[in-house]
Structure 1
Amino acid sequence: MLMNNLFNAFKLPESEENQYVMKCIMRVLGVADVQLDVARICIEGLGSLLSEVCKNPKNPVFNHYLFESVAILVKRASERDPSLVSVFETSLFPRLEIILSNDVTEFFPYTFQLLALLVELNRPPIPPIYMQIFEILLSPDSWKRTSNVPALVRLLQAFLQKAPNEISQGDRLTKVLGIFDTLIQSSSTSEQGFYVLNTVIESLPYDVITPYISHIWAAIFRELQKRRTVKLLKSLLIFISLFLVKHGWSNVIDTMNAVQPNIFSVILTQFWIPNLKLITGDIELKLTAVASTRLICESPVLLDPAASVSWGKMVDSIVTLLSRKEQDRVEDEGDMPDIAENVGYTATFVRLYNAGRNEEDPLPDIKDPRKFFVASLSQLCAHSPGRFPNVISENVETANQEALLQLCNTYNVALV
């Protein structure tokens, strides 16, 4: 009854695109327990509105709430009842196809985000129609509009997660990595390029990506020679860390050095150690701290006495990362301004909150990176009593030595 009345409100004079009613629908769908019959009414009501606004998009606020309403309905109802996914696909696909075929560019980012959500809600193997969409996604023309890139990356990540076997076939992975290579060449899209690469590393077996690893490193090293922005350096460290925890430190070191002899030590000393403190975000902090800890506690390259300075400097950087507040170790890069409600349509990506990607933790078994760090360090020291405390005292800042001692006391471990 409530939803019927809300949709009927759009039939009132001068209320065809009432943004307040649409916002109300979005809020109701965010809390309502939507059953099958109500879901059908809602998706048809929203779908018919979508068909209308495609003819002449003129109210960006109304349209944003419309797409948010579709996203929250699809997500919440499908998670509760997976059989609804096909109902939503039947209603939405013709409308989304109209947007793409009629070049309604204002709605492209929304469309790609909704498609990503639908891909993620499907159970493998995903229906063939999605692989047709995937082929469009691989076309270089699809990526020419910068405003589409975040949504296209979001869709590409969904495919990598849900259809890794299909993507491993033919030349699809070559094309995916070609997209990565193109994106990282521009400072405005380099971070998005690494999102693609990280999802490749997370989703595909190592034997599938092995033939491409040298090309990946070569592309990254090429960009490091051109520019060294904070964003690029953070993306690099997150990628190396993800690679390390997924496939081991030896594969990281060996594949790097296969591209250029001894390049790993250069990356370690010039990029990894000095920039570890820049990492932000709980998942990213844990990932990079654990990877760095594994490197100093497991890799013969770092455990070689000749590398003791690098070992000590890495300990210093890990302690900085784990013991200092974000605002004390990260310089403010300056935020992009928010998109105001009154700016109208611009070539800008607008994120659908309700179609957002669930960020996955690559290390779910490790709950506390600080505990992991000092426990690993303590075990290492126990194998060679007296060796590592000297390296720490010579290479770790005094303040960080005190912070390390506090961490050891907190977790009741000793460095001997």
Structure 2
Amino acid sequence: MASTLDHLAQLLDATLDAQHHRKAENALKEEAKKPKYSLSLLSLVSSTTAALKTRLAAALAFKNFIRHNYVDEDGKYKLPEDEVQTIKQELVGLMISSPPTIQTQLGEAISLIADSDFWERWDTLTKDLVSRLSNTDFKATNGVLEVAHSIFVRWRPLFQSNDLNREIIHVVGDFGEPFVQLLSIADGQIEANKTNGDALKGWLETMSLLIRILYDLCCQDIPPVIETHLQPISQLLHKYIVYTNPIFDDEDDEATPLEILKSDICDALQLFTNKYDDDFGKYVQEFTNNVWNVLSSVGPEKRYDTLTCKALQFLTAVASVRRHAEIFNNEQILSTIVEKVILPNVALRESDIEMFEDEPIEFIRRDLEGSDTDSRRRAATDFLRKLLDNFEPLVTQVVFRYINHYLAAGKSDWKAKDTAVYLFLAVAAKGAVTAAHGVKTVNSFVNVVEFFEQNIASDLLTETDQPISKVDAIKYLYTFRSQLNKAQWASAIRPLIQNLASSNYVVYTYAAIAVERVLFLTDEQGQHLFPRSDIEPYAKDLLEHLFALIAKGGTAVKVQENEFLMRCIMRVLIVMKEGILDYGAETVLTHLINITNVIKENPSNPRFYYYHFEAIGALVRYCSNAPKLNLLQQLWTPFIAILNEDVSEFVPFVFQIFALLLELSPSNQVPGDFKVLIEAVLAPGPWETRGNAPPLSRFIAAIIPKAAEEIKAEKKLEPILTIFQRLLGGKKTDQNAFDLLEAIVGTFPGSVLEEYFGTILTLIFTKLQASPTDSYKSRVVRFYHLVSARAGDGQMGADYFITHAEAIQQNVFTPFYLTIILPTTGQFARPVDRKLGVISYTKTLCESTKFAERYQKGWGFTCNNLLDLLKNPPRVTAGFGDAIVNEADVDDIGFGVGFTPLNTCKRGPRDDFPEILEVDKWVSQYMKEANQRHGGAIAKFVGERLSPEAKAALAPYLA
């Protein structure tokens, strides 16, 4: 055992080494397949002889192992029962006794297990936790409370449900009374230890954890045990929101346990004010005064940042309740708020300027991306905007006095100017700043364009020693981009692009951000505000400059540090489309390949490499068949290196781009190199990573029609169908299964599929019986229509489907057709699907012997359903490159989780009959020819099987 643990420890240490981490991670994947791997990791975590970094790496590996290997999609255990029980027995005690960094990882692991098991499969947990609470040992108690909070905090974002209510009632039953008792025990211990630094800090942390758990317990509803103790709990909150202790006076950098406790109290106050005003309203006025006093007494030191934010968030909650908001409705009070609270917290501090200079990318993210939710500026702005919602004219008037004062001072003091601009942004913008359009509505009492022209435009145009003034000017344009018309933008775009040449990191990055967002802007018709013709004069220089800024990084980590530059490159390529061929596409491709080769060594910024592959996708989408680019050959070498080295973060992107290259290739043959990939994608290995299923299945679907002969000759159809079966079984991959199946059915004749078709139908029908989703039913019906529409020429057709279905179970087709096919087809929304339904129904009426003879009523139903589809004949628009490519808002993408689709590589809806352009004319021609071919049989059926209305509706098609 010892040697196993030593080997595991060596591998875990190697994962921390940048040079050897990938090899070590692959070796760990092999170890993870061995029995009791999870318990070996826990043994390492608990080993007091192992180095702390090794124990931490083991805790991290354990958490990740649990995330992927504890239960399957249906919540069934993937580990042996005895291993699960041992984990549950050991984990809580181990976490409580571990150092804080390890506690965090194990706490997350407990939370993951709780997701699937708590409370019904782990109903002993809360009693176990309560039994470990101590009235005298804060370390043990805090460990228990950390575990409890890591489980209960999961309730906060959830919607109410019976299951959730049962879980909370179960917890409150075991935990409620001990929790209330512990509040007064912790209070007593804080009093008893007020001069003993270590113990005081420990018990203040206990109180903090209890307040967080109070929030957890009340996040859905107030449990009775809290409701009956609301008065004493409120007194306790009062006591600690104003509590002071000279022990903490000398601290200045990091928040002490006292500030952390007060922050947690503000969180709880915010919850009670927002959610339980009926019960809690009577305490709000006094808490507002308390929190106001706290805000007025804290300084600008970083130590107070979180507390200041949380206090402001509580005041924002008070201002959100109309009857409480009235306490602010007074010019003098509002002036005091702006002077004492807003201004000190929106003014730039030394720490902001240090971050601007030393950590520019962090400064930008906090400022622009909303990752500054806990910044003083953001919290003060949110409070001011909430006051503005309630009292717009009065707040605007009060704030403008300060804006004008700071603008005047700003003539000689750039910091004052920065404050003025920030205040203007805060009162002018209404609602959130959207990622797509910036601010959509503005305060009716301000003039955004006039303010820009009078106070800001000069900073954009002139050289200045002070980069922050430049940044403010660019940010102003970025924020109000939707408020400027085309003519106003036309005069701003050139100076904006010129700022990309700034030597200052933040200035050129902001310029790239603003340029990219302007190029993204579209009008009501979805047309770009700045189309290709407007950007062409700048495109070549712009791209060269952006690539030079990225290349300046040198190392893998630095090259991919600034995702905003790559996002701008991507946007220019999307707007330029095939026009980029005249502006240095070869150079662009060389740069993108060089970047790929650098960052694959250590992928560290998911946003950067997402935009990077979107940029490559844009080149492929618009220029794939340009001979001078030779994209297929150029991308082959770097992409194969990624696959050979198993750079798992990039593999899904590579297969999406490979699939697009195949789909856009005019040749009906597989390019020589690609044949080696068929073997690789049919192996089980790549499918084990969940995020690989969509791109791999799309790649196979793209290669099937081009490699039909090889697949048939080398007997590869069976392994492809095995993959289909695996994908069909998964909840999240059944759509990918049908992508494969449609490619197979669209490529091979019925005779080739004969031996497999019964099994395919059995799998599909089995899943159809187990409460299928609408999307599953829709794909089943689309598959049926594809088979049915391929009637004639010894292909397939409705009779082929019926014969194989009836071989599985007699008379199964009638209910399937009446309850699944007909109603679902009527609900098809996409024109390509409705078009396929029309072709399928037409061929059924004209070619199916079974419908002609056996299903005579069904023939009539089919005709009626065809006529319904033809009331609004589906028009299918062809073309890959027409749609505007909007990448998903990056914050909506779960990076690193599952699969991230590339928008530039998105496949349009599959049209299996692109040669049929006008569906109604095709139906008429096909029916007339079939009627002739079958000696007037179709006209005879029309006469016998349709109602007078249906006959009249069909007459024009047969005339």
TM-score band by shorter chain is 0.7 to 0.9
Distance 1:165 1:37, change over 3 A: farther
CA drift of 1:110 comes to 0.5
What CA distance in whole angstroms lies between the structure 2 residues aligned with 1:44 and 1:95?
11
Contact kept, 8 Å, 1:60 with 1:344, in 2: the verdict is no
For structure 2, list consecutive stretches of 5 or more residues without a partner in the other structure: 1-539, 875-886, 932-936
Alignment equivalent of 1:213, drawn from 757, 763, 772:
757
Distance 1:368 1:187, change over 3 A: farther
**Correspondence 1:175 to 2:719:** yes
**Correspondence 1:258 to 2:807:** yes
1:323-356 per-position Cα deviation (integer Å, ceiling 9, x unaligned): 4899xxxxxxxxxxx9641356232322222223
> Residue 914 of structure 2 aligns to a residue in which SS?
coil
CA drift of 1:241 comes to 1.0
What CA distance in whole angstroms lies between the structure 1 residues aligned with 2:573 and 2:828?
36
What CA distance in whole angstroms lies between the structure 2 residues aligned with 1:295 and 1:204?
20
> Residue 769 of structure 2 aligns to a residue in which SS?
helix
Contact kept, 8 Å, 1:241 with 1:291, in 2: the verdict is yes
Alignment equivalent of 1:114, drawn from 657, 662, 666:
657
Aligned to 2:596: 50
> Residue 171 of structure 1 aligns to a residue in which SS?
coil
Aligned to 1:5: 545
> Residue 105 of structure 1 aligns to a residue in which SS?
coil
CA drift of 1:113 comes to 0.8
Q: TM-score, normalised by structure 2?
A: 0.37
Distance 1:385 1:72, change over 3 A: closer
Opposite residue 862 of structure 2, the aligned amino acid is M
**Correspondence 1:226 to 2:770:** yes
For structure 1, list consecutive stretches of 5 or more residues without a partner in the other structure: 327-337, 394-400
What CA distance in whole angstroms lies between the structure 2 residues aligned with 1:149 and 1:124?
25
Give % identity: 26
What does residue range 242-391 of structure 1 map to in structure 2 within 5 Å?
242-246=786-790, 247=795, 248-304=797-853, 307-323=855-871, 340-342=889-891, 345-357=895-907, 359-370=909-920, 382-384=939-941, 386-389=943-946
What CA distance in whole angstroms lies between the structure 1 residues aligned with 2:748 and 2:546?
45
> Residue 55 of structure 1 aligns to a residue in which SS?
coil
Contact kept, 8 Å, 1:381 with 1:388, in 2: the verdict is no
What CA distance in whole angstroms lies between the structure 2 residues aligned with 1:229 and 1:91?
42
Distance 1:130 1:265, change over 3 A: same
> Residue 79 of structure 1 aligns to a residue in which SS?
coil
What CA distance in whole angstroms lies between the structure 2 residues aligned with 1:385 and 1:159?
43
Opposite residue 899 of structure 2, the aligned amino acid is F
Alignment equivalent of 1:18, drawn from 544, 562, 574:
562
Contact kept, 8 Å, 1:374 with 1:413, in 2: the verdict is yes
Opposite residue 79 of structure 1, the aligned amino acid is N
CA drift of 1:361 comes to 2.6
What CA distance in whole angstroms lies between the structure 2 residues aligned with 1:233 and 1:412?
33
1:204-229 per-position Cα deviation (integer Å, ceiling 9, x unaligned): 23332222222222222222233332
Distance 1:197 1:8, change over 3 A: same
Contact kept, 8 Å, 1:59 with 1:344, in 2: the verdict is no
Alignment equivalent of 1:74, drawn from 597, 610, 620:
620
CA drift of 1:69 comes to 1.3
CA drift of 1:124 comes to 4.9
Aligned to 1:158: 702
What CA distance in whole angstroms lies between the structure 2 residues aligned with 1:104 and 1:166?
29
Alignment equivalent of 2:629, drawn from 84, 104, 115:
84
Contact kept, 8 Å, 1:296 with 1:303, in 2: the verdict is yes
What CA distance in whole angstroms lies between the structure 2 residues aligned with 1:131 and 1:407?
51
CA drift of 1:319 comes to 4.3
Opposite residue 916 of structure 2, the aligned amino acid is I
What CA distance in whole angstroms lies between the structure 1 residues aligned with 2:749 and 2:591?
43
Contact kept, 8 Å, 1:106 with 1:345, in 2: the verdict is no
What CA distance in whole angstroms lies between the structure 1 residues aligned with 2:864 and 2:581?
55
Contact kept, 8 Å, 1:279 with 1:321, in 2: the verdict is no
Q: TM-score, normalised by structure 1?
A: 0.80
Alignment equivalent of 1:141, drawn from 678, 685, 696:
685
Distance 1:212 1:46, change over 3 A: same
Distance 1:318 1:146, change over 3 A: farther
What CA distance in whole angstroms lies between the structure 1 residues aligned with 2:677 and 2:616?
20
User: Which shifted more, 349-358 or 284-293?
Assistant: 349-358
1:39-92 per-position Cα deviation (integer Å, ceiling 9, x unaligned): 3322221112122332333333322221111122234333232x633xx44543
Contact kept, 8 Å, 1:302 with 1:310, in 2: the verdict is yes
**Correspondence 1:39 to 2:582:** no
CA drift of 1:138 comes to 0.5
CA drift of 1:198 comes to 0.6
What CA distance in whole angstroms lies between the structure 2 residues aligned with 1:230 and 1:127?
38
Aligned to 1:331: none
CA drift of 1:358 comes to 5.4
CA drift of 1:29 comes to 2.8
Decide which structure has the larger Cα Rg and report it: 2
